[in-house]
Structure 1
Amino acid sequence: MGRRRQRVGRLSGLTLSVGLALCVSARAAAPLEPSALARCEESFDAHPEGSDAAMCFFRNAQGKEARDEARRRLQGLIARHPGRPWLTLVLGHMELPSDPALAEASYRRAALAFRSQGDAEGEVLAGINLRNALGIRGQTEEAHQWVLRVGEVARASGDPKLEVRALILEAAELSDLGQDLGRAYRLLKRAEALAFPGGTDGLKKQVLGTLATVSANLGRFDEAQDVYTRLAELAERTKDAGTEARVRFALANVAWRRQDERPGPAARAALLRLGREALAASGRAGSKLSEAMSLRLVAELLGDGPGERSEAEDALGRCIDIARETGLPERRIACLWTRAERRASVDADAAWRDADEALALAAEHDNPLYLASAWRTRATVAFRTKPLPEALGHAERALDAVEVLRQWQRDATSQAELFSNWASDYHRLAGRTLEAGEAAEVPPREALERAFAVSERLRARTLFEALVAARALPMAEETPEHRKARDGVLRSLSVTQRKLLDPSLSAPERARLLGELQELERRERELRPATGQRDPRPEARSAELPFASLAATEQRLGEEEALLVFLAGADHDLQGERAGGAWVLAVTREGTRAYRIPERARLRPAVALLSGLIERRDGSEAAAASALYAQLLAPALRGLPPKVSRLLLVPDGPLHDLPFAALREHADGPPLVARYELARVPSASLLHHWREQPEQPPGGEALVLADPDRGASAATAVATSRGGVFLETASLGALPEARREGRTVSKTLEDTSVKPRLLVGAEASEQALKDSRWDAVRILHVAAHAVVDVESPERSALVLAPGSAGEDGLLQPREITGLRLRDALVVLSSCRGASGALLAGEGVLSLARAFFESGARAVVASLWPMRDAEAAKLLERYYRHLAAGQGAASALRDAQRESWEDGEPTAVWAGLGVMGDAALVPVRPATDTASHGLGRGLLPGLAVGAGLLALTLFGLWRPHTRRPAGRQ
């Protein structure tokens, strides 16, 4: 999937029903013939023992008139054949669209009858439908009990088809309730592996429909679109009009929601056309559910002209009526909030009535996803109808609801993915708060404090929570059985990845192994030990986080430091309403000021242009660098106290890809790094966390791994994107310069507080790295290849020698986080170690982030590949300054400035940057090992003497097709 994701809209607008379509093996609806249902009745009388004759009624009753006739005939048959629960099950199908209460009773009778007869398939299907009917009626506790029962029966049956249905049902329940979407996604991927390629068409539709919904709710829009496309092809092949209608709506909705900025008139017209096509398809299929969803989408896309406003009002009225008639509260909630937002600008009282009704319905059904959306609607209506200070209060309450939704996700990855969909709400609240301060509608200082607090709630949350929990609580105890199971999965992962590293694998075998790997990765995540929680309630977990306040941050910054917090929001949202804009907060010990910057839509192409010009290596980037300096930094830097010499940058959105070091006040002037030390910080809260940790003792070991020997000759072909990291790894060659670099690093560190230990070739192995005593290691330098997988970040890896039969030589994030580093600095000097999948709010999912989770205190990483010799020279300078006792950011600044003064192109030095605690002093000269005060922390007088993890990963710069030797 394409992982560069930004705000894409309301999650629940993407929810698809997993009701009847989830539970029956229905073939395509046949056109109703006058005698079709009569023939079904005759067929059942002749052969009442099986399910097919009963299902004949479902296949031939796809409209209201036909359903009424089918119901009458089924009731007659049930009277004549009271011991045939398939008839009762199908009767429930006929009753569900018009009377869910009657359908519930029929499904219950069928499920109990199947149980008494020992019919596992019948009980599973009836139980699934009963659960859905109970869910429609808000009876979630009993519905959950049927989810558990279906799972038990399916597993006991040993039938893979029933297991697939049970997996879908469990995932659908999690999705419907807005809970643990990551687990739902993994369950569905397991179901997909079981259903394809040999499952029935009906089973495949059920898997794909639910998988697409969950993927979209997690913000995986590329994957959702791919799955919907597969489902559309299947619906067309089987002539399934109902599924085709649902897919048309879903594709139109995904296209709308994935719009990052407000679409232009042409794009909006195209989206509206898709919405109208979906509405027409739902009418042809006779699907009230699809019709309700399509009506809401069309209404949302219509403009504000009198004619379009009237059409939207009519559409939403019909949507609400359909939802009420069919007993679909989630559709009614969605149509109410859409109507509330549209009415806000013309009828405030009516808008508030709709918003209140939507919230009441969401609260009644206790669905955190719909509650968050309903609270968001109240905030939207408030911004359009109330004074700004009052509207801000509504928006803050909406974020509280988002936090509860987020904490219902039990998996850190799904927390981050789901949360990224709500980042625009944080941007809007922070920006509108600052606007209120500008206009003095809120006291300016109060506005700054509230906006800063919102920003901290948005930033790198899963990383912050993981580090806080790791410090406060021990890892959960694993039972021997659990540990044995996880070790077995890890061994299997290693074996499978070793096979995938063989470049001679056939395409079918590679596809099979990748499917096996995906299942192993799912199992490993399920078995991964979790850090304990002090309070399991979602609300309490959020409240316990020690977010940094603005006042505390100002007090704890050094007088030489300024924290620049960027909020790269949009000026207007998808509906054209004010969305808060983009800002930078300049925080120093002397106070804080806010400055406007260009919105995200303007920043993204500007950052891409600068990077492209830098890649040309001809100095043509100077004007673009000066323009970005003026737009992003100039006003803020002019207002800084004169003593400030270090900038701590909290990037956002496209600014994660910006080489700040290259910016300059004038096109012919010096770069920013000539004046300031620079470091990127995920959040002020994380900076506080790192700097408040106790100082590590001096001394220790410098572990240096260089030129790992994998024992195989390199292939010369460039890896294809389809092969991913494994074909890329297989094509990597030896690194002869890495050994020289390893010796240089070791020699440079000889006269310091750390003692180097050099491992090269086969000794530079994954096993050796894992076996190291991490409490003694202060410096880790790895000169090796690295591979970055943006599509699947957990497959990114440092490429080492295996070192044992149980290792594959790929040190991946799941293993990096287990190293238990102690306040270390990670330096990924090449191969885009600072790059990866970008999640709004969370930031970049890079190898660097994994080292932060493992206990690293700072990371030096590159935004782009660097030429081998140039990177080695820059690092040689860097280590020379580190060995002299300079801090992490200070040493890099001097190394980069020397490169610039020597006339080296910007591409040589500007991509490397420090992330984390810039003040960290990783090395002490041998003559100064008794001194403990070389580092400045956030707390006055706190000395920081932690170690350095210097991880050098040299990349390959390929200006031509010929591939020179280099480090990936």
Structure 2
Amino acid sequence: MAGPGAARPALAAPDAGVAIPPAVAACVARFEASPHERESALCFYQSAQSAEGRDAARRELKALEARYPDEPWLPLALGHVEMLSGLRPAEEAYRRAVSGFRDQHHAEGEVLAAINLRNVLVTQGRTEEAREWTQRIVEVARDSGSTELNARALIVEANERFDVEHDLGGAFRLLKRAEVLAFPDGADGLKKQCLNSLATVSSLLGRLDEAEEFYHRLAELARSTHEGQQEARVRLALANLALQRHERRPEPGGRERVLALARVALAASEQAGSKALEVTSLRLVADTLGDSPEEQREAEELLRRCLALTDELAMPERRISCLWTRAERLSKADPTTADRDSAAALRLAYEHGNPHYLARALRVRATVAFRTQPLPEALRHAERTLDAVEALRELQRDVPSQAEVFANWATDYYRLAGWTLEAGGATGRSPQVAPREALERTFRVSERLRARTLLDALVASRALSASAGDEGRRTARAEVQRKLTAVQRRLLEPGLATGEREAALRELQELERSEAGLRPAPRHGATGFASLEAIERGLAPDEALLAFLVGDDLDVYGGPAGGAWLLAVTREGTRVHRLPERNRMAPAVALFAGLIERRDGSEAGTAAALYAQLLAPALTQLPSGVRRLLLVPDGPLHDLPFAALRERPDAPPLVARYELALVPSASLWRYWREQPPLASGGEALVLADPDRSAGTRMARASASERTGVFEEAAQLGALPEARREGYAVEKALRETKVTPRLLTGTSASERALKSADLASVRVLHLAAHAVVDAQAPERSALVLAPGADEEDGILQPREIAELRLDGALVVLSACRSASGAVLPGEGVLSLARAFFEAGSRAVVASLWPLRDDEAAGLVARFYRHLARGLSASAALRAAQLEAIDESQPASAWAGLVVLGDAALVAVEPRVPEASRGLLTVTHVAAGAVVLGLLAGALVWLRRRRTR
């Protein structure tokens, strides 16, 4: 490296007739004045945003590098400039920069150059080389002790998880750790890298709101640094997010809005001079153009440019997407070319090895085949798409990420189900697949869609208990959980200052991410899904299973999306019925819920309309002996109180005709039904009206509803009716073979529940407030008394799942314990679900907040019938019928539901129900004999006295 006082050679004159743009000339002068400063070299990258400036910057940097071979900032800056046009020259420049910084033991420079080199290698698909550079970056950053370099290393590790291992959840947790180090004091470049990666991963996880927030923060940074390429990247990303939102929830005019954003992104990419961004923008505009002749011609030209640029830039993944977009657009007008393009995209996807691209390429191959080939061939490609989706799912190392990634592909399951039924003749067209085979294949697709993580956990013998061989990981997780509890105790303190609360929430978020990263890896089920034949055979003669698939009729491009269907399964066979699509169903269900809330009977008309749309054809054709309906809801139907539907506005509700239960999937129902009966006897553990006010000055007011929010959990009022409910439950169970144990007030604590011998518990009853957080389901909780200093009284899903119930019936007399965030495919992320993970076979829970007095009355009735030895669904039906007879509104009784194994009998009466009548007759007969003997004795005594 030339010293400060060394003579500096003059700058070579530019080529004759080539003028140096003023911005580049300024960078030359700046470098001449301060050649050892980082910004002196990087100035050239800022001046190279236009095509004219880029050529001049490249020329001057090469000339300077020849004269200053010991200044590694120059090849680093040259690599940045070359990246605007192509990958191969950029790679060569970054390699020279890495070597130069390493020779000088310059940690910061080596890390920066190596990061850029690694990114180039990943883009070229050279993942093994990229992994080696990741390890080197982490080592250099760790040895340097620099906060900023360690933040950069975390970002690189996260990108490794994302780019190579495709573990999105792990990548997100690493990036959030980097964010803490990068903000607020990190360099602008570091912040941009962090936000870029966070936005990309959030988008792939389906967290579109988070992704949009990260992109807006990125846009602010780009504007403050006047970086045109970054602004163009943000515009493109926001257009892509808008398309994702439109695909999830199509709205009138949505495609036109996305197209406008895509055109703006394309213009920004061209102005910034970034060919890589231009490729993606060209494809996005072509993807969202309509079908008019003018738009078709424009799309054809855009895709021609797109493919030409991918050849120039050597970007195989971008070529794949350009090919599949052209294939989709040509599938109607030019089937031969469309088929060729879709096959080429699929072949490249296999070669490239990225599972995201492979699944997308298979999806397009199926779409093109549906339009150009016999339907059975399209089904084959669509089934391969599901295989690719599930392979992508299994790459995720934590359960939440598995569910989130899987949810992004739920539409592919609806589509295949609808196509398969169409092939079987369900839509009226000539069958191309035997009808019974079509039903079996559709049922298999339906089961592959539903509650996968819960099924995996249960069939694999509870994923959380499978970490016996990893003592260190379990110890670390226990320590993190202890810290979590301590932070939540602080958050529950009344009067906590705003600044302290915000700091505690940030700490809580970091601990939550650490705890999730320390959980055992997800287990995949050791057994397959239930077949249609197995379910038919397993149903009792008086049972029917109704499995709903609620998709849309058309996708946002006007293609067939599968539609909505009902599979009605009985022991005698299976029938299929067409339903209104999701876009029509969701507002009707929301309207019904709102009318029920009015408590004036105004919901009767909507109840009849929903009955006609959802159930009437199926119920009409059920065998006459069916008395129990096992409902497998989907989409908006998860929030539907089926019990309140009715055939006519003036007819009795559905629960008057049938016992009802909700099940997440037929496979889970079969899993629970095949478990052995609960052992006789045991204990009923009842926790009612927990009191959190011990040790505080706060008075305990009464609450009218069992509801609350997390931040107010410490101030939730008492539930006096819940305490009376507890006494009623205890009284009802005294005449059974289970022994009730009632805990109230401060004794109804988290510590008492966790320390109980739950293996002997046959019924677990919790009458308390609940907190349901739809945005962060892991924070939902039942609010109990703490019971110990190491507890916070906030019983959350991660703690519930470790309770180790042995098939017990769980009754959650708490608001919205059966509701929560609905994740496509996975279902409702509710508190009730966590008790299934803990080992329960049936859970009674509520869909909405219940009034304290009404909840207590309904639950007391339920237990009276349960104590007679009735199943969970029969006992709830009997209780609801009594409430109906008293003219109570639907809001008082229809929200309580049975989930899981409806036939579970958790309680045996001391005197069996069936023998009570016989015993009564025997008692009468015995009494007559005794009376006869007494009469005879009196006669004999009289005679003796007479004598």
For 1:790, which of 760, 774, 779 is the aligned residue?
Answer: 774
> 3-state SS of the aligned residue for 2:611?
helix
Residue type at the aligned position of 1:460: A
Q: With structure 2 as the length reference, what TM-score do the two structures score?
A: 0.91
Residue type at the aligned position of 1:459: R
Aligned to 2:16: none
Q: 1:698-713, aligned counterparts within 5 Å?
A: 698-710=680-692, 711=694, 712=696
Residue type at the aligned position of 1:403: E
Between 497-506 and 471-480, the greater mean CA deviation after superposition? 471-480
Distance in 1 between the 2:462 and 2:806 partners? 11
Distance in 2 between the 1:110 and 1:214 partners? 29
Residue type at the aligned position of 1:160: T
Percent identity over the alignment is 63
Aligned to 1:618: 600
For 1:430, which of 387, 396, 417 is the aligned residue?
Answer: 417
Shift of residue 170, structure 1, vs aligned partner:
2.1
Between 62-71 and 626-635, the greater mean CA deviation after superposition? 62-71
> 3-state SS of the aligned residue for 1:694?
coil
Equivalenced residues, count: 888
Aligned to 1:253: 240
Residue type at the aligned position of 2:238: L
For 2:149, which of 154, 159, 162 is the aligned residue?
Answer: 162
Alignment of 1:54 with 2:41, yes or no, is yes
Q: 1:228-267, aligned counterparts within 5 Å?
A: 228-259=215-246, 263=250, 266-267=253-254
Q: With structure 1 as the length reference, what TM-score do the two structures score?
A: 0.89
1:261, 1:573 within 8 Å by CA — same for their partners in 2?
Answer: no
Aligned to 1:681: 663
Alignment of 1:749 with 2:750, yes or no, is no
Alignment of 1:563 with 2:554, yes or no, is no
Distance in 1 between the 2:732 and 2:310 partners? 72
Aligned to 1:119: 106
Shift of residue 896, structure 1, vs aligned partner:
0.7
Shift of residue 50, structure 1, vs aligned partner:
3.2
Distance in 2 between the 1:528 and 1:178 partners? 18
Alignment of 1:203 with 2:194, yes or no, is no
Aligned to 1:25: none
Shift of residue 419, structure 1, vs aligned partner:
0.6
Residue type at the aligned position of 1:782: L
> 3-state SS of the aligned residue for 2:791?
coil
Aligned to 2:531: 549
1:715, 1:732 within 8 Å by CA — same for their partners in 2?
Answer: no
| CA pair 473-555 structure 1, distance change in 2 beyond 3 A | farther
Alignment of 1:297 with 2:284, yes or no, is yes
1:586, 1:593 within 8 Å by CA — same for their partners in 2?
Answer: yes
Residue type at the aligned position of 1:505: L
Alignment of 1:851 with 2:835, yes or no, is yes
> 3-state SS of the aligned residue for 1:922?
coil
> 3-state SS of the aligned residue for 2:758?
coil
Between 301-310 and 726-735, the greater mean CA deviation after superposition? 726-735
| CA pair 562-659 structure 1, distance change in 2 beyond 3 A | same
Shift of residue 261, structure 1, vs aligned partner:
6.3
For 1:645, which of 620, 627, 643 is the aligned residue?
Answer: 627
Give CA-to-partner distance per residue, 1:253-290, whole Å, 9 cap, x none.
Answer: 21221125674553322222122112222222222222
Aligned to 1:465: 456
Aligned to 2:89: 102
1:154, 1:166 within 8 Å by CA — same for their partners in 2?
Answer: yes
Residue type at the aligned position of 2:48: A
Distance in 2 between the 1:879 and 1:407 partners? 42
> 3-state SS of the aligned residue for 1:259?
helix
Larger radius of gyration: 2
Distance in 2 between the 1:725 and 1:220 partners? 23
Distance in 1 between the 2:672 and 2:123 partners? 48
Aligned to 1:502: 493
| CA pair 265-878 structure 1, distance change in 2 beyond 3 A | closer
> 3-state SS of the aligned residue for 2:759?
coil
1:701, 1:754 within 8 Å by CA — same for their partners in 2?
Answer: yes
Distance in 2 between the 1:363 and 1:880 partners? 61
Between 911-920 and 51-60, the greater mean CA deviation after superposition? 51-60
Of structures 1 and 2, the one with the larger relative CO (CA 8 A, separation 6+) is: 1
Shift of residue 503, structure 1, vs aligned partner:
3.4
Residue type at the aligned position of 1:325: E
Distance in 2 between the 1:743 and 1:81 partners? 87
Distance in 1 between the 2:219 and 2:40 partners? 28
> 3-state SS of the aligned residue for 2:400?
helix
Aligned to 2:926: none
Distance in 2 between the 1:747 and 1:718 partners? 24
Shift of residue 471, structure 1, vs aligned partner:
5.8
Alignment of 1:407 with 2:391, yes or no, is no
Alignment of 1:491 with 2:454, yes or no, is no
> 3-state SS of the aligned residue for 2:528?
coil
Give CA-to-partner distance per residue, 1:394-434, whole Å, 9 cap, x none.
Answer: 11111111111111111110110111111110001001111
1:136, 1:327 within 8 Å by CA — same for their partners in 2?
Answer: no
> 3-state SS of the aligned residue for 2:530?
coil
Alignment of 1:527 with 2:511, yes or no, is no
2:339, 2:372 within 8 Å by CA — same for their partners in 1?
Answer: no
Residue type at the aligned position of 1:390: E
Aligned to 2:577: 595
Shift of residue 177, structure 1, vs aligned partner:
4.2
Alignment of 1:837 with 2:824, yes or no, is no
Aligned to 2:447: 456
Between 205-214 and 234-243, the greater mean CA deviation after superposition? 234-243
1:650, 1:681 within 8 Å by CA — same for their partners in 2?
Answer: yes
Aligned to 2:158: 171
Aligned to 1:475: 466
> 3-state SS of the aligned residue for 2:239?
helix
Distance in 1 between the 2:206 and 2:422 partners? 29
Residue type at the aligned position of 2:161: L
Unaligned runs of 5+ in 2: 1-18, 916-947
Shift of residue 864, structure 1, vs aligned partner:
0.7
Shift of residue 57, structure 1, vs aligned partner:
1.6
Distance in 2 between the 1:273 and 1:653 partners? 30
Aligned to 1:894: 878
Distance in 1 between the 2:127 and 2:442 partners? 38
| CA pair 580-145 structure 1, distance change in 2 beyond 3 A | same
Distance in 2 between the 1:391 and 1:158 partners? 56
| CA pair 350-517 structure 1, distance change in 2 beyond 3 A | same
For 1:82, which of 46, 69, 93 is the aligned residue?
Answer: 69
Q: 1:631-642, aligned counterparts within 5 Å?
A: 631-642=613-624
| CA pair 133-717 structure 1, distance change in 2 beyond 3 A | farther
Alignment of 1:335 with 2:326, yes or no, is no
Residue type at the aligned position of 1:214: V
> 3-state SS of the aligned residue for 2:546?
strand
C-alpha root-mean-square deviation of aligned residues, in Å?
Answer: 2.2
Distance in 2 between the 1:99 and 1:275 partners? 23
Give CA-to-partner distance per residue, 1:183-215, whole Å, 9 cap, x none.
Answer: 111112222222222223322222222111111
| CA pair 211-746 structure 1, distance change in 2 beyond 3 A | same
Distance in 2 between the 1:80 and 1:716 partners? 80
Aligned to 1:12: none
1:833, 1:863 within 8 Å by CA — same for their partners in 2?
Answer: yes
Q: 1:718-737, aligned counterparts within 5 Å?
A: 725-737=709-721
Shift of residue 354, structure 1, vs aligned partner:
1.3
Distance in 2 between the 1:130 and 1:452 partners? 49
2:767, 2:812 within 8 Å by CA — same for their partners in 1?
Answer: no
1:262, 1:572 within 8 Å by CA — same for their partners in 2?
Answer: no
Distance in 1 between the 2:414 and 2:472 partners? 46
Residue type at the aligned position of 2:676: P
Shift of residue 792, structure 1, vs aligned partner:
0.6
Distance in 2 between the 1:268 and 1:376 partners? 20
1:177, 1:368 within 8 Å by CA — same for their partners in 2?
Answer: no
Give CA-to-partner distance per residue, 1:783-811, whole Å, 9 cap, x none.
Answer: 21111111111111111111111111111
Aligned to 2:649: 667
Distance in 2 between the 1:929 and 1:513 partners? 55
> 3-state SS of the aligned residue for 2:819?
coil
Give CA-to-partner distance per residue, 1:74-114, whole Å, 9 cap, x none.
Answer: 22222222222222222222223434223223222322332
Distance in 2 between the 1:706 and 1:398 partners? 49
Give CA-to-partner distance per residue, 1:111-144, whole Å, 9 cap, x none.
Answer: 2332332222112111111111111222111111
Residue type at the aligned position of 1:762: T
Distance in 2 between the 1:108 and 1:287 partners? 22
1:704, 1:782 within 8 Å by CA — same for their partners in 2?
Answer: yes
Shift of residue 519, structure 1, vs aligned partner:
0.3
